[in-house]
Chains A and B, each alone.
Chain A
């Protein structure tokens, strides 16, 4: 059974894309991540133009993070004030990211840039998670490693201006670091079609030193809005959001995520992190190979010549 995608302008097999949505959803539920970093590369491997893949992934991120955000909000796990500060940076970053996509597409460097960013970004994050996971499983026998939280000790961040009190996180700090983190991740997520939780969460724990209990809820809270804005801006600026493709992937994704969560609860945290790290590195390696190996065809064709 095939379906014609109105924006990607191609005819695709529904079964393949629903299966893709289900498996991405399963993995995202399993690891507690958005899954955008897997979805975007897989869509391009299947022949979807990378700009359409990025924009459509953004809408997938909205779907996969909205229910989590609401659950965490109900449980009071969201630092709204911190979330809003990061969101302010995030929205500005999204705008920059979408504009960057437009410029890069016209210059013919979009595919290359996105591959490079993916390789570097996923390489670093994957290594980080893998090393963390290995350390954690080594220490698993010993007593649980207490996460040192020294509120107020931000070393170099102490000197920054525009200090603000964040009662929910019990922090008194400059708004500059959360703004910059938001900006950076907003920009990356608009370019890469990801939520960016797997970067934001470590940043919030290690740089902002937020309480771990609030980190996931707060990051989801702002990811929902950033991804929503990215989707709308991609639709307006680049006209690359394919709602039919998005619907197929999302329906598969949200169902898959539920099963992933169930399985995830049965696995140990450090094992999950090992798997996630390995998976991220695998995607990075696959994309790196494509950059280094001589392409099958040196020539490529694109319809965009400036305007349309």
Chain B
């Protein structure tokens, strides 16, 4: 009996030593697609973000030892949220709030709701979760809301509107482990996804502590005729405008000619 206890103690001690010596867990990840081409037939797509926890001590995929959060973010862009109110019987934009930068696109997937994974401070620092998205307010204008409670409603309105446009996406149980260390998440890119490079941040958590982070990039690029048209419209607007007019006039004349009555 003593021997057994001793053996067990030794074994435990060994495990303890092994634990202390074991390399810390870290995370590595990548996206299935590095380049998404926006062509004239683009109707949205999905990218797969996958990765592995190195030195995983998770006994099974279902154990839930680790939490993974995948955040796919677009570039910071300016935005204005406006609020209507009734003025003389009609609805007019009366209040607004300007943001110097909000993510053009924001998708989050996690193994469980982010608020259960870590506390506010951590989520805020990394901009994880809809309530913690990094937003920078712009210089105030005359019609800007000032009341803090009101600021919060504007912030929430922005998230809600972006969510309605499907450019902000949340999936509370969107990350799943497929092995002791391997995990995956699919991220939907809607047809109206803002065309800009995306950054995929993958965070590894255990007991509320962040153990590691891994970033990778996904390029969104207009391609083919789509790219040509967009570039021309932005860089040579005069040429683009004249060309549009010529196309319009040409169509008008062609139709008149084709349907011409035999005189």
With A4-B38, A11-B44, A11-B192 as known contacts, state yes or no: A299 contacts B83, CB within 8 Å: yes
With A63-B251, A67-B253, A302-B79 as known contacts, state yes or no: A6 contacts B230, CB within 8 Å: yes
Could you mark each residue 87-110 of chain B with 1 if its beta carbon is under 8 Å from any beta carbon of chain A, else 0?
001111100101110000000000
Binding-face segment, A136-144, A169-177, A209-217, A290-298:
A290-298
With A63-B251, A295-B84 as known contacts, state yes or no: A10 contacts B242, CB within 8 Å: no
Judge whether B252 and A64 touch: CB under 8 Å: yes
Could you mark each residue 7-40 of chain B with 1 if its beta carbon is under 8 Å from any beta carbon of chain A, else 0?
0000000000000000000000000000000111
Q: Is A254 part of the contact surface with B, judged by Cβ < 8 Å?
A: yes
With A67-B256, A299-B161, A302-B82 as known contacts, state yes or no: A235 contacts B244, CB within 8 Å: yes
Which residues of chain A are near B226, meaning CB under 8 Å?
Answer: 4, 6
Q: Is A66 part of the contact surface with B, judged by Cβ < 8 Å?
A: yes
Which residues of chain B are near A250, meaning CB under 8 Å?
Answer: 247-248, 251-252
Number of A residues with CB within 8 Å of any CB on chain B: 59
Question: Cα distance A4–B165 when bound, in Å?
Answer: 16
CB neighbors of B among A11-45 (8 A): 11
CB neighbors of A among B199-229 (8 A): 222, 226, 229
CB neighbors of B among A30-83 (8 A): 59-60, 62-67, 70-71
Interface size class of B (residues with CB under 8 A): 35 or more
Quick one: closest A residue to B239, CB to CB?
A235
With A108-B93, A231-B241, A305-B98 as known contacts, state yes or no: A66 contacts B249, CB within 8 Å: yes
Which residues of chain A are near B91, meaning CB under 8 Å?
Answer: 291-295
Question: Cα distance A162–B120 when bound, in Å?
Answer: 74
Judge whether A10 and B192 touch: CB under 8 Å: yes
Q: Is B81 part of the contact surface with A, judged by Cβ < 8 Å?
A: yes
CB neighbors of B among A208-262 (8 A): 224, 228, 231-236, 239, 241, 243-244, 246-247, 250-251, 254-255, 257-258
Which residues of chain B are near A11, meaning CB under 8 Å?
Answer: 42-44, 191-192
CB distance from B112 to the nearest CB of A (A): 29
Which residues of chain A are near B222, meaning CB under 8 Å?
Answer: 6
Judge whether A301 and B80 touch: CB under 8 Å: yes
Q: Is B138 part of the contact surface with A, judged by Cβ < 8 Å?
A: yes
With A11-B191, A112-B92, A233-B241 as known contacts, state yes or no: A303 contacts B79, CB within 8 Å: yes
Q: Is A3 part of the contact surface with B, judged by Cβ < 8 Å?
A: yes
Q: Is A155 part of the contact surface with B, judged by Cβ < 8 Å?
A: no
Which residues of chain B are near A236, meaning CB under 8 Å?
Answer: 237-238, 241
Judge whether A235 and B240 touch: CB under 8 Å: yes
> Number of A-B pairs whose CB atoms are under 8 Å?
181
Q: Is B77 part of the contact surface with A, judged by Cβ < 8 Å?
A: yes
Question: Cα distance A231–B239 when bound, in Å?
Answer: 11
With A235-B244, A236-B237, A243-B229 as known contacts, state yes or no: A66 contacts B253, CB within 8 Å: yes
CB distance from B193 to the nearest CB of A (A): 9
Judge whether B244 and A241 touch: CB under 8 Å: yes
CB distance from B180 to the nearest CB of A (A): 40
B138, B160, B252 pick with most chain A CB within 10 angstroms: B252
Judge whether A298 and B83 touch: CB under 8 Å: yes
Judge whether B248 and A63 touch: CB under 8 Å: yes
Which residues of chain B are near A239, meaning CB under 8 Å?
Answer: 233-234, 237
Could you mark each residue 98-109 of chain A with 1 if its beta carbon is under 8 Å from any beta carbon of chain B, else 0?
000000000011
CB distance from A27 to the nearest CB of B (A): 16
Judge whether A257 and B255 touch: CB under 8 Å: yes
Judge whether B93 and A7 touch: CB under 8 Å: no
Which residues of chain B are near A3, meaning CB under 8 Å?
Answer: 40-41
Judge whether B191 and A10 touch: CB under 8 Å: yes
Which residues of chain A are near B77, meaning CB under 8 Å?
Answer: 303
Quick one: closest B residue to A306, CB to CB?
B78
Question: Cα distance A64–B252 when bound, in Å?
Answer: 6
Which residues of chain A are near B158, meaning CB under 8 Å?
Answer: 299, 301
Quick one: closest A residue to B258, CB to CB?
A258
Q: Is B245 part of the contact surface with A, judged by Cβ < 8 Å?
A: yes
Judge whether A305 and B90 touch: CB under 8 Å: no
Which residues of chain A are near B237, meaning CB under 8 Å?
Answer: 235-236, 239
Judge whether B78 and A305 touch: CB under 8 Å: yes
With A241-B240, A300-B161 as known contacts, state yes or no: A228 contacts B230, CB within 8 Å: no
Question: Cα distance A149–B133 when bound, in Å?
Answer: 69
Judge whether A9 and B40 touch: CB under 8 Å: no
Quick one: closest A residue to B222, CB to CB?
A6
With A247-B247, A305-B78 as known contacts, state yes or no: A66 contacts B233, CB within 8 Å: no
Question: Cα distance A40–B165 when bound, in Å?
Answer: 22
Can you offer 5 A-B residue contacts whose CB atoms are under 8 A? A241-B241, A246-B248, A250-B252, A299-B81, A305-B98
Interface residues of B (CB under 8 A from A): 38-44, 77-86, 89-93, 96, 98-100, 138, 154, 157-158, 160-162, 165, 191-192, 194-195, 222, 226, 229-230, 233-234, 237-238, 240-245, 247-249, 251-256, 259
Other than A244-B229, A305-B79, give 9 A-B pairs with Cβ distance below 8 A. Answer: A4-B40, A4-B41, A4-B226, A6-B233, A66-B249, A228-B248, A292-B91, A299-B83, A303-B79
What are the 4 A-B residue pairs with the smallest beta carbon separation, nearest first? A235-B241, A67-B256, A254-B255, A232-B241
